Amino acid sequence: MTPPKIAPPSGSAPPAGLTRKAFLGLSASAAAAAAFAPQAMAQTPKPAASPRGPARRTLIRGADLLTMDPLNKELQATDVLIENGKIAAIGKRLPAGDAEVIEARGMILMPGMIDGHRHMWHGLDAGRIVKAEPNAYAKGYIGWQRRTMACMTPEDNYLAELIGGLQAIDAGVTTVLDYAHGQPTEEKALAAARGVKDSGVAGWFTFQLGRATAFGPGSTISTARVHADLNTTTETNWKTVERLQKELFSDSNGLLQLGLAPSNATGRAVAEVRKEWERARATGVKMIAAHVHKTAQPQPAGTIGHRGSGIVDLHEAGLLGPDYHASHGNRLTDDELKMLRDTGGMLCATVVGEFPYMMTPHLMASAHGRARHAGVATGIGIDVNSVLQQDYFEHVRCAFLSLFLEPEGREIVRNYKSEDSLDFATALGARAVRLGDVTGSLTVGKRADLVLLRTDRIGFAMLGSLADRVMNFASQADVDSVWVAGKARKRHGKMLGVDWAKLKAQQVAAQQRIGPQQASITFTT
């Protein structure tokens, strides 16, 4: 189907009615209201509270609880009271008082799911390349990524991150680690952070250092120069970090926190990497994230990647720690996993996105099963959300199925139960983004990040444990209601206060503008 023809804005124009200066200077909430205020729709339920307004006191009555809490496990026909953004009580026949009452008998209440590695900005250009064409994707992904980040305006970044966060919530994902590696300027980084913050999703905006682009539409530039600019941290990057902390992430109790992803460490001198990481930690951020793979060839002695993935080098340099979050980690050795475990590090596998790695011998299958088995806090994620489905239950199932790809995984998965696979996306997944004490289970005192599932669809099985039913049969279509920190974001199967048609039109307009711009950039060898 040919996309509708929508008159595209100019390459750097802000949303209609908003000047660039005003867009970049407004507070997050004001910018959202001015640029993307939803239009009233007769069939759309009105939200109980705005994403940034106070949470209502809510009583969810009579749901079947898949708690993912080892003390409670599964509770039938039980009430949950939400107060001040947290789970205040769990029990039978709780008094409602002045709370809004949600009748949920026959429905399943579970924790909001966790996505530990997602590039939100990618989603703006969804469909330009697809993984269902493996050869074309393998050859074209890096070029597409670099051209796209050069062509996207700050306003595009805002829109991409806003849509990305809303799509996550719509699917029952209430916490994400947004690996923001496509923002090579201050304006783009701040706009992206505002977008995901305005979506209302919780988690981490993890800003990638070492991003710069010396090219744009119409440029001809060497791939060596492009690679250097995208892997060298400059004072401009540190200035961006300062602005992000001051303007958007000054509240240490905010739903969304700032993390940092240092420049690619592989092949760099240990002393150089240590200096950058120490400076990153000196900013006070609580999350240091990195893409980690076993290298195709060993790197020179004295550099990161001299042995295996570089985990050994980082460990010997004293750089691993409880704030270290490794994404992917395919083919990490048992010793490397022990180093992560013993230093409190975390790992996230993006199992659907990593299926093509089976064509690359030094990468092969995802590491989540082995990492969990080794005692590492391990989660899963979507990764490249421009080419993969948003239904997160499918990613949970693929995390289970992918364990059968290798002999080690087959031994690990042999004794799994449904709750073990769900663990990657709930309680364990929360630990894997340093939020295990905050979210990931239905536990009194934890943040009220909740997903209520309908069970009346013909394909939703009524037999088995709650974990069996959710793990094997649930889909995004079953997500009736979502709360993030006690705020209702989705009810009766519809996102509250979100005009999807308007956002889709803005996305298509951006794609129609960006496509020719991407095609005008030439990389030379």
- For 323-382, the pLDDT digits (tens) are 999 999 998 999 999 999 999 999 999 999 988 888 887 677 799 999 999 999 999 999
CB hemisphere CA count around 328 (13 angstroms): 21
Lowest mean pLDDT among 50-59, 472-481, 516-525: 50-59
Distance CA 426, CA 114 (A): 6
In the structure encoding, which two tokens stand for residue 244, read together?
């992000």
* Residue 494 reports pLDDT greater than 50: yes
Q: Looking at the chain, which residues constitute the CATH 2.30.40.10 domain(s)?
A: 58-112+442-492
Buried b (16+ CB within 10 A) or exposed e, 142-171: eebbbbbbbbbbbbbbbbbbbbbbbbbbbb
- For 275-306, the pLDDT digits (tens) are 999 999 999 999 999 999 888 888 999 999 99
- For 243-265, the pLDDT digits (tens) are 999 999 999 999 999 999 999 99
- For 94-136, the pLDDT digits (tens) are 999 999 999 999 999 999 999 999 999 999 999 999 988 989 9
Exposed / middle / buried, residue 348 (Cβ in 10 Å: 0-12, 13-18, 19+): buried
Q: Which fold has domain 58-112+442-492?
A: Urease, subunit C; domain 1 (2.30.40)
- For 169-179, the pLDDT digits (tens) are 999 999 999 99
Helices (H), 120-184: 134-151, 154-170
How is domain 262-439 classified at the architecture level of CATH? Alpha-Beta Barrel (3.20)
**Contact indicator for 480, 453 with CB cutoff of 8 Å:** yes
For the whole model, what pTM was predicted?
Answer: 0.90
Give the number of other Cβ atoms within 10 Å of residue 201's Cβ.
31
pLDDT at 20: 52
* Residue 396 reports pLDDT greater than 60: yes
Using alpha carbons, select from 238, 213, 231, 241 the residue that is nearest to residue 267: 231
Q: Looking at the chain, which residues constitute the CATH 3.20.20.140 domain(s)?
A: 262-439
Exposed / middle / buried, residue 10 (Cβ in 10 Å: 0-12, 13-18, 19+): exposed
Using alpha carbons, select from 458, 461, 431 the residue that is nearest to residue 446: 431
**Ramachandran angles phi, psi of 124, nearest 5°:** -60, -35
pLDDT at 362: 67
